[in-house]
Chains A and B, each alone.
Chain A
Amino acid sequence: MMVNAQIYVKDLPGRLVESLEPISLVNGNIVGVVHDREQIVNQRICIDVTFEIKGNHELDQLKDIWKSRDVLIAKIGSVYKTYTMEYMLVGKFKASFVESLIDKASKAIHFESVDVNYSSKNASSARTAMISAELISEDDLKRFDAFLMNACKKSKIVYIRGI
């Protein structure tokens, strides 16, 4: 599993290495580290670390080691891969149409985030909407593709998706 943790360590030489070493001790693999000296709270600095680890048992072991080494855990959670796709709708529709589509889709499909931009209406009253969707699985992406395609077909709206 991929894990992201935000930890605080005392601002002393050697503490950064001391806080990261336990990840290797539980056979974890560090993917990224951000050592933020701007963010000092109670004379402790913030370290944002992302790592791969076998499972929850190893994660519990790591938490115990951090606790024993006076490392404070501010946030910890699993990180998952997301799938992003852009869609464009072209035709005669209102913003409420797109919003209701996304509401309906979100009942069955897991979104991480959705962002919609609209062009201004032109003389022919046709408009364009650009949807940027971030979904949590490939299956969700496929289902959202199919959902949008069918909805647009029914409403005679041109549907353009990313590549």
Chain B
Amino acid sequence: MRILISGFGTVGQGFAEAMILRRNFFQERYGKDLTIVCVMDSSTFALDQSGLCPAELLERKKSTGKVGTERYQDPLKVMDSVEYDLLVEVSPTDIKTGGAGLKNIRHALGAGKDVITVNKGPLALKFCELVALAKKNNCKFRFEGSVGGAMPIINLCRENLVGENISSIRGILNGTCNFILTKMDNGQSFEQALKEAQQMGYAETDPTNDIEGYDSACKVVILANSLFKRNVAFSDVSITGITAISSEAISLAASNNMVIRLIGEVSNDKLEVAPRLVPKGHPLSITGTLNAAQVVTDLAGPITISGRGAGKIETASAIMSDLVSIMDDRKGREGRCLNQ
């Protein structure tokens, strides 16, 4: 399996670290190594058809700030110059246009390559188009890490709960907002809590996408399209952020034994991100940067999962699960061909 990595920021580097940690796993499970043949960051690329060393890539990025020594203008030309089987698209999210990530994914699927991404922009904007392109070219397209980081919500629903009728999914899909609301539970003002989130590296300098609910809304769209077979876009989501939540609202909720949490909700007739009153002790009243989701099914009833919604190695874990799934499927296909 020859891998091209597009994006070598936090998540890309986390994936490279996970590749080092799981080298033996792939050798034992599939009898062959995975090979990284090309890595692109925002302006440079490294390419070696015989395989790049993940440790060297990490070291170079750390010491020079760049992953490669060669610069590029057009990422699609770089992609065309490499022989690869799978694109891992982890470039920065652009929820307005889809950015370079959308172009890269389209290009790879168009060329019949499998794709794994955690990039929410392309999925929130062009999900149905990308799935159709993957289907047309008979390639695999997976995106577990795009919702809930290490929390395996998509694969849980698509694989383990495949025999269930899922009536709704609601959850805490943004760890930054949950961190801020948890701090407000402990008496901080919204402004203080946001500042602390920025100091801890949970919130960006411009926190708009998180606190206005846009990040959660992207995830709601991905869940709706991938699990409820809907054809919706970011603009279809009713969004209310947490900026208007006052300390006195938090206090009044607490005096009624409740907390306020930013909840994304998806069902066949609902697409919403809004602050909600959650009873203390409810599975969705979790604290800190954790993500949680409650899947309501007809046979199993409600199923709740929680996990780290972001982080270098945590998100890489979701990519690894998609990678194993694709490798298993390829192995299955090879097996079936040999049996025929």
Interface residues of A (CB under 8 A from B): 86-88, 90-91, 117, 119-120, 122, 126-128, 130, 132, 158-163
Scan residues 210-260 of chain B and give those whose CB is less than 8 A from a CB of chain A: 240, 244-246, 248-249, 251-253, 256, 258, 260
Instruction: Check B175 for interface membership: any CB of A closer than 8 A.
Output: no
Known: A130-B252, A130-B256. A163 touches B282 (CB 8 A): yes
* CB atoms of A119 and B251 under 8 A apart: yes
Q: Which residue of A lies closest to B284 (CB)?
A: A163
Sample 18 A-B pairs with CB under 8 A, ordered by A number: A86-B258, A87-B277, A88-B277, A90-B244, A91-B244, A117-B252, A117-B256, A119-B248, A128-B249, A130-B253, A158-B240, A160-B249, A160-B276, A162-B258, A162-B277, A162-B278, A163-B263, A163-B279
Question: Is the CB–CB distance between A128 and B276 below 8 Å?
Answer: no
Q: Which residues of B contact A87 (CB under 8 A)?
A: 277
4 nearest CB pairs, A to B: A158-B244, A119-B248, A162-B277, A128-B249
Interface size on B, residues (CB 8 A): 22
Closest to B170 in A: A163
Cβ contacts under 8 Å, A128 to chain B: 246, 248-249, 252
**Minimum C-beta distance from A13 to chain B (A):** 44
Q: Which residue of the partner chain, among B246, B258, B276, contacts A90 with CB atoms under 8 Å?
A: B246
A120 CA to B249 CA in the complex, in Å? 11
- Is B275 engaged at the interface, CB distance under 8 Å to the other chain? yes
Contact of A126 among B240, B246, B251, B278 (CB under 8 A): B246
In the complex, what residues of A have CB within 8 A of residue B276's CB?
160-163
Q: Which A residues touch B246, using CB under 8 A?
A: 90, 122, 126, 128
- CB pair A88–B249 under 8 Å, yes or no, is yes
In the assembled complex, the Cα of A90 lies from the Cα of B246 at a distance in Å of: 8
Report yes or no: A86 in contact with B256, Cβ–Cβ below 8 A. Answer: yes
Residues of B within 8 Å of A159, CB to CB, are: 240
Q: How far is the CB of B201 from chain A (nearest CB, A)?
A: 28
In the bound complex, do residue A122 and residue B277 qualify as a contact, i.e. CB atoms below 8 Å apart? Answer: no
Is B150 an interface residue when CB atoms closer than 8 A count as contact? Answer: no
| Assembly CA distance A127 to B240 (angstroms) | 18
Interface of A is mostly: strand
Given that A163-B277, A163-B284 are known contacts, is A88 also in contact with B252, CB under 8 Å in the complex?
yes
A18 to chain B, nearest CB (A): 41
Q: Are A161 and B251 in contact (CB under 8 A)?
A: no
Complex CA gap A86/B258 in Å reads 10
**Known A88-B253, A90-B244; further 15 A-B contacts with Cβ < 8 A:** A86-B258, A88-B252, A117-B252, A119-B251, A122-B248, A126-B246, A128-B252, A130-B253, A158-B275, A160-B260, A160-B274, A161-B276, A163-B170, A163-B276, A163-B284
Residues of B within 8 A of A161 (CB): 274, 276-277
Contacts of A126 in B (CB 8 A): 246
Distance in angstroms between the alpha carbons of A131 and B145 in the assembled complex: 38
Which residues in chain B, 139-170, are within 8 Å of chain A measured between CB atoms?
170
Which B267-301 residues sit within 8 Å CB-CB of chain A?
A: 274-279, 282, 284
Residues in B with CB closer than 8 Å to A117 are 252, 256
Query: Which residue in chain B gives the minimum CB-CB distance to A91?
Result: B244
Bound form: Cα–Cα A130–B248 in Å:
11
Distance A160 CA – B249 CA, assembled complex (angstroms) = 10
Complex formed: what's the CA distance from A130 to B249 in Å? 9
Most buried by A among B251, B275, B279: B275
Q: Are B256 and A90 in contact (CB under 8 A)?
A: no
> How far does the alpha carbon of A126 sit from the alpha carbon of B245 in the complex, in Å?
11
Nearest chain B CB to A127's CB is how many angstroms away?
8
B248 and A160 form a contact (CB under 8 A)? no
Give chain A residues whose Cβ lies under 8 Å from the Cβ of B260: 88, 160
Which residue in chain B gives the minimum CB-CB distance to A126?
B246
CA–CA, A137 to B194, complex, Å?
A: 40
Residues of chain B within 8 A (CB-CB) of A88 are 249, 252-253, 260, 277
Compute how far the CA of A119 lies from the CA of B248 in the bound complex, rounded to whole angstroms: 7
CB-CB under 8 A from A132, the residues of chain B are: 256
Give A162 Cβ to nearest chain B Cβ, in Å.
4
* Contact residues in B for A122 (Cβ distance below 8 Å): 246, 248
Query: CA separation between A119 and B245, bound complex, in Å?
Result: 13
Min CB gap A152→B, angstroms: 10
